[in-house]
Amino acid sequence: MAYTALYRKFRPQTFDGVIGQEHIVRTLKNQMKTGRVSHAYLFCGTRGTGKTSTAKIFARAINCLHPTEEGEPCNQCDVCQDILAGRSVNVIEIDAASNNSVDNIREIREEVKYPPTQGRFKVYIIDEVHMLSNSAFNALLKTLEEPPAHVIFILATTDPQKVPATILSRVQRFDFRRITTETIAETLMGYLQEEGQKVTPEAVRYVAHLGDGSMRDSLSILDQCLAFFSGEEVTLEKVLDIMGAVDQTIFFEMTEALAQKNAKKAMTLVEDMMLSGRDVKQFVTEMLQHLRNLLIAATIPDVKQILDLSQEDGERLQAAAKILSPEEIIYLIGKFSDLQSELKWAPNERILLEVELMKLCAPWTEKDLTTLAARLGELERKVAEGVPVAIQAAQSSDAKPKEAPKPKRKPPALPEDRKQVKEQWPLLRNDVDDVVLKSMLGQVEVGFKEDEFLYLICEYPALADMVERGIDKIAAVLERETGKSFELRTTTKEEYDKWYEAAYGKQEEASTAEEDAEFASLLGQYFPEADVEE
């Protein structure tokens, strides 16, 4: 016999089996008992919360030959059995994602004229109804408003905002809530006992956490773990292995490293994570969730009112929230959100993560309001902790008078040692031991001005700031490889090009002038009496 997935095997067959939607179940059962069944319903909510399952249970209940006093279907009569087996012609399921044209709705309008062949009602369950076209919605309006007495419509959607207001005004709307982690974990434990599978409570709770409020997602993840570790007890470590996730401890340690601006510790945590075979995108996603929880714990006294956490996790989170100010947490959330977007297109996700962590552990360089608020929050936190903070006043330099443009002249000759560095730069930069710095130097060129400095020309200002922090390492490599010491400075390509143009003019102009002078000299040799205009 073919294996049945857990989310199909444990699909609820009665209203009491629907998890976490007591407000909806009670309303529908009361409608059954009092006979106040509406002609159209809209079930909306996130995936895996029981919309379609509830619709099928309701379709059986209103057609059941022997319903219970509580309004439950008996699931034993011929009508219930036919609906359960999917062979009933009176319960029609339609996927609006693939049947979204006006012609599909016209077929429904023609079919509703005929009474059910079995039971009291003909029920149309339209899944993902927001995918219908505008023409299809318009064709459905009149039928939905005044259907025949024997027809009931149940519309299901994950995106009710896309359903027209004219449809919403003709249905009874039921919003399915996200299921709490505790409820999912308790339900999964009951299923596992029924299956005779051994899974630790920590593993079950983490599976419920990964489900993110969806019972179907949680069952699918659990099914995957049970298949991979067939016959073994499934532990938290095994779930982390199969899902490519990381232990929650790393998020607390990473937050502490960022608060202390300890780049070495942050890089060590990334190295340990990569050696364990974890996924960078999954880490960033869960780090964002952790920072969100920290922000709530730092601003709200009782985190249990909002966060779906155990008592132990809640206390640990509140203790960790004290090492960062709310302003710093908001700043980190913004940075990791940007990083999450950039990772979608990154060929090397680890380098992008490490560069961002090094920037977050470096001294403050950005000047936007969020950064300034985070920096002020850090200073206030350190003062409250009794940490001495040295604040240096910025020294304003007197504005220098604007100099007159200098006459254009030919570039000076380059010293041999600096010329050698420029020629060998692609090889020299590969001798840098720091992997992150080496990857950044691929976007750096070498240039000169009329001074003793060797300029590292960077593509954009942020790159210049990052290279500036590793300038001592670059100087050490050049001294080791060439036997000479160099004074290094960083600049952007835009600034260097502006200086070059101001000093020597554009290269095209200079080369054109030289060619004109050479042509005039040759012309004078062959035609001494010719008047050459300049």
Per-residue pLDDT of the chain (534 residues; tens, 9 = 90+): 467 888 888 899 999 999 999 999 999 999 988 888 999 999 999 999 999 999 999 999 999 999 888 889 999 999 999 999 888 888 999 999 888 899 999 999 889 988 888 888 999 999 999 999 999 999 999 888 888 999 999 999 999 999 999 999 999 999 999 998 889 999 999 988 888 888 898 889 888 888 888 999 999 988 888 888 877 888 888 888 777 666 678 888 999 999 988 999 999 999 988 887 788 998 999 899 899 988 988 888 777 667 766 666 777 788 888 888 888 899 999 999 999 999 888 888 999 999 999 989 887 666 667 777 777 777 777 777 666 655 544 444 444 555 555 555 444 445 677 778 888 888 888 888 887 788 788 888 888 787 778 888 998 888 888 888 888 888 888 888 888 888 888 999 888 888 888 877 765 544 454 445 554 554 555 455 545 444
CA separation for the pair 182, 28 (Å, rounded): 25
SS (H, E, C) 421-462: HHHHHHHHHHHCCCHHHHHHHCCEEEEECCCCEEEEEECCHH
Closest CA to 99 of 122, 129, 124: 129
Asked if 160 contacts 130 with a C-beta cutoff of 8 angstroms, the reply is yes
- Which H helix or E strand runs over 524? helix 507-526
Strand pairing partners for 488?
Answer: 454
Asked if 93 contacts 127 with a C-beta cutoff of 8 angstroms, the reply is yes
Residues in the chain: 534
Structural domains in the chain, sorted by start: 6-175 (3.40.50.300), 181-243 (1.10.8.60), 249-383 (1.20.272.10), 416-507 (3.30.300.180)
Asked if 74 contacts 68 with a C-beta cutoff of 8 angstroms, the reply is yes
* pLDDT value of position 351: 92
Asked if 330 contacts 372 with a C-beta cutoff of 8 angstroms, the reply is no
* pLDDT value of position 254: 92
Say which amino acid occupies 60: R
User: Rounded to 5 degrees, what angle do the CA atoms 386, 390, 393 make?
Assistant: 145
* pLDDT value of position 339: 92
Q: How far is CA 36 from CA 28, 30, 31, 53, 62, in A?
A: 9, 8, 5, 21, 11
Closest CA to 210 of 175, 176, 248: 248
* pLDDT value of position 396: 42
CA separation for the pair 293, 110 (Å, rounded): 53
Q: How far is CA 96 from CA 45, 168, 217, in A?
A: 16, 17, 22
Q: How far is CA 435 from CA 267, 273, 441, 442, 465, in A?
A: 11, 17, 10, 11, 17
Q: Which two tokens stand for residue 261?
A: 């601006």
Say which amino acid occupies 148: P
* pLDDT value of position 347: 86
Instruction: Using CB atoms within 10 Å of the CB of residue 215, give its burial: 0 to 12 exposed, 13 to 18 middle, 19+ buried.
Output: buried
Asked if 149 contacts 116 with a C-beta cutoff of 8 angstroms, the reply is no
